[in-house]
Amino acid sequence: MATSWDAVIIGAGVNGCAIAYNLAKRGLRVVILDKTDVCAQASGQNGGGVRQSARDPRELPLAMLSVSLFSSLAEELDQDVEYVQAGNLRLCTTSEQETAMRAAVAQQRVDFGLDVRYVDRGELEALNQHLAEWVVGASYCPTDGHANPLLTTYAFARKACELGAELRTGETVTRIRLSRGTVRSVVTDREVYSTGLVINAAGIGGRAVANMVGLDFPMTPVFTEVLVTEAREPMFAQMIGTASSDFYGHQTTHGSFVWGGFVGYETFLHDGHHGGTQRPNYPEVASAICRTVLRYFPGLGELNVIRTWGGLIAQVADKVPVLGPVPEVPGYISATGFSGHGFGIAPAVGRVIGQAVLGETPDVDLSPFTADRFGPVH
Amino acid sequence: MSTTSCANVSRARSLADQESLDSLVICRCEEVSRGEILAALETGVSSVSGVKRVTRAGMGLCQGQTCGRLVTSLVAETTGQRADQVEPLTARPPVRPVPMAVLARDRDETAMDGK
Amino acid sequence: MNRISEHPVLGTFAKGRSVVFRLDGRAMEGCEGEPIAAALRAAGVLVHRQTARRNEPRGVFCAIGRCTDCVMVVDGRPNVRTCVEPLREGMQIQTQYGLGTLRHEGAGS
């Protein structure tokens, strides 16, 4: 006996839950389905960055909208999400990096009016006293920051449920039934959900879900690791990245440092993920991340690493998500493929997808994110 | 346990102040109480990992080595499962704290020398 | 608190030489190489730290380096598991308050 819904959202990650919240707020009868649990994939293996700088230009409007939404999110969702807006530093160590960074920063200011600038060593030292002597400067975006992705996701989920949404975990979507090319129902291993609207927020499972309605997009899973240190008293609050993109991270509200890195062979690592929660770790990756971080922050050498974890990035070929309705499949809306940077834009994605569902003009134009940008859809 | 001691325990439990039971620290590292964990389990959280994400139980310095089983049994109780049916906290390296400088060196030569 | 010098089962113990260390600036004595926690216990010190959230006292709990209840600030480094860390001459040991050495009032720092 099928139940009837205004919308079915596949995926209880931060974007799925943000969309659910936005739809439930407008009175839609929504159910979120997840094959494991809230926050089980990328949202739960997440660097927590809320960043505008150094994004693909196509994502910048979403990122800027998101930053403004984050500033009042705790109040809106009745839950502290540990949002800290202390800026983002992308560190440079060579004059070539400095030249390139100055140009990139100027471009972002001109094209998007983003508050970002290059800071030289002198100004950098005032912002962060823990840098190695060979860091020559950095790009600095004062309105960037970080938040807790776990609390944010659960906050969206909880608020959505308070507003009438339903959350069903441990339930796997097996089919999306179309009738004359239009969405009619979503079938899981437990029941049938009759609906005219399905939103694909399935993250790492997003491509498989798209395939269920005869769509595809070029997405590959990329395994990446992060290490967590013991908690220490506050040292610095900025989000950190580098011009060479070798590591990123920050010190959380709780005092521990979260450091992720790209050691160069991520695409060749097989994560052995079998749908459960146990993933392997590669000790050489944590070692490499430590070496890289200590090159820039030598004083952190005595900090103890207490955990390493890994996760899968749903990497789309051009590294930006597939967002919005797909005219060829009425009733199907894509909100997936965030390529490792979906957390920071989640509040905005929740809003604009909600607007798209309701037939309103989205606050951000979604045409750069269409499914047909890789070629004809059918 | 014999029936007599079970009866004693349940009588003691009913006599115990509910408030003090709820304020029992389960995760010693992050100071997460039994009451906080049960409250989380009432709001859409149904797994040990979920409890961890929302309350921080298991995220502290000992990484759940001390509280893991206690959290698992609370989840089991609340969700009507046996403790061995509940997916436990994910175990991850390192098994004890290791300084970044030591991990960076990649080889177990000397202890950290401050360099 | 007295140290056990002869145990009915374990016999006698070969301990390191007596060394001076400081606890919160106070000079104390212990045996070189024994766990810091042992030296503290022998000196009657049972409270190693105050927790960050509830400002509650903690000391040795598991005594095997696993639970991290006994951590203190040692030579400026916080979170040192004193039940497994060997005592060295001249060590500066401090009661850990939350994550550091500054006392905090009430719950939360």
**Annotated domain spans of chain C:** 16-97
Sheet of strand A88-92: strand arrangement: A117-120, A137-141, A88-92, A239-242, A247-251, A256-261, A219-231, A304-316, B98-99
- How far off is chain B from C100, nearest CA to CA, in Å? 14
- The domain A3-48+149-218+318-374 having CATH identifier 3.30.365.10: the answer here is no
Across the interface, whether the CB atoms of A290 and B104 are under 8 A apart is answered: yes
- How far off is chain A from B77, nearest CA to CA, in Å? 18
In a domain, B37, yes or no: yes
The DSSP 8-state label assigned to residue A183 in this structure reads: E
pLDDT given for residue A273 in this prediction: 47
In a domain, B14, yes or no: no
Which residue numbers of A have CB closer than 8 Å to C's CBs? 230-233, 255, 302, 304
Whether chain C has a CB inside 8 Å of the CB on B29: the answer is: yes
Give pLDDT tens digits for A31-84.
999 999 999 999 999 999 999 999 999 999 999 999 999 999 999 999 999 999
In a domain, B53, yes or no: yes
Alpha carbon distance, N-terminus to C-terminus of chain B: 56
pLDDT given for residue A1 in this prediction: 65
Residue C103: is its pLDDT beyond 90? no
Give pLDDT tens digits for A124-136.
999 999 999 999 9
Residue C109: is its pLDDT beyond 90? no
Please report, for chain A, the start and end positions of each structural domain, with discontinuous segments joined by +: 3-48+149-218+318-374, 85-142+220-316
- The total number of structural domains that make up chain B: 1
Contact residues on chain A for C81, CB-CB shorter than 8 A: none
Contact residues on chain A for C96, CB-CB shorter than 8 A: none
Q: What is the mean pLDDT of residues B84-113?
A: 82
- What is residue A363's three-state secondary structure? coil
Closest CA to A119 of A88, A86, A145, A85: A88
In a domain, B70, yes or no: yes
ipTM of the complex: 0.91
* H or E, element range at A289: helix A283-296
List alpha helices for B42-113, DSSP H: 48-55, 68-79, 100-105
Mean pLDDT of chain C: 93
Q: What is the mean pLDDT of residues C67-76?
A: 98
pLDDT given for residue A158 in this prediction: 96
Give pLDDT tens digits for B1-55.
455 556 666 655 665 678 888 999 999 999 999 999 999 999 879 999 999 999 9
Give pLDDT tens digits for A150-165.
999 999 999 999 999 9
Residue in A233, A251, A303 to test binding to C, most C beta-carbons within 10 Å: A233
- Let me know: does A349 contact A323? Beta carbons within 8 Å: yes
Across the interface, whether the CB atoms of B104 and A294 are under 8 A apart is answered: yes
Question: Which parts of chain A register pLDDT below 70?
Answer: 1, 267-280
Residues 6 or more apart in contact with residue B30 via CB below 8 angstroms: B55, B56, B57, B58, B59, B60, C53
Across the interface, whether the CB atoms of B97 and A305 are under 8 A apart is answered: yes
Widest Cα–Cα separation across chain A = 68
Instruction: Look up the CATH number of domain A85-142+220-316.
Output: 3.30.9.10
CA distances from C14 to A228, A319, C2, C17, C32 (A): 39, 64, 16, 9, 11
Q: Quote the CA–CA distance of A202 and A206 in Å, as a whole number.
A: 4
Question: How sure is the predictor about B107, in pLDDT bands with cuts at 50, 70 and 90?
Answer: low
Exposure string of C27-42, with b = 16+ CB inside 10 Å and e = fewer, is: ebebbeebbbbbbbbb
Contact residues on chain B for A284, CB-CB shorter than 8 A: 106
In a domain, B76, yes or no: yes
Q: What is the mean pLDDT of residues C28-45?
A: 97
The DSSP 8-state label assigned to residue A84 in this structure reads: B
pLDDT given for residue A277 in this prediction: 42
Contact residues on chain A for B59, CB-CB shorter than 8 A: 254
Across the interface, whether the CB atoms of A233 and C99 are under 8 A apart is answered: yes
- The domain C16-97 having CATH identifier 3.10.20.440: the answer here is yes
Q: Quote the CA–CA distance of A354 and A335 in Å, as a whole number.
A: 11
User: Residue A171 corresponds to which tokens in the numbers above?
Assistant: 């339930």
Residue in B61, B100, B102 to test binding to C, most C beta-carbons within 10 Å: B61
* H or E, element range at A62: helix A60-70
In a domain, B46, yes or no: yes
User: Residue A100 corresponds to which tokens in the numbers above?
Assistant: 């390139």
- Give me the domain span that covers residue B82: 20-105
Residue in A80, A304, A306, A307 to test binding to C, most C beta-carbons within 10 Å: A304
Q: Quote the CA–CA distance of B81 and B69 in Å, as a whole number.
A: 14
Question: How sure is the predictor about C99, in pLDDT bands with cuts at 50, 70 and 90?
Answer: very high
In a domain, B60, yes or no: yes
State the Cα torsion A149-A151-A154-A156 to the nearest 10°: -80
* H or E, element range at C22: strand C18-23
- What is residue A23's three-state secondary structure? helix
User: Residue A330 corresponds to which tokens in the numbers above?
Assistant: 């009425």
User: Percent of chain C beyond pLDDT 90?
Assistant: 86
Which residues face A316 on adjacent strands?
A219
pLDDT given for residue A222 in this prediction: 86
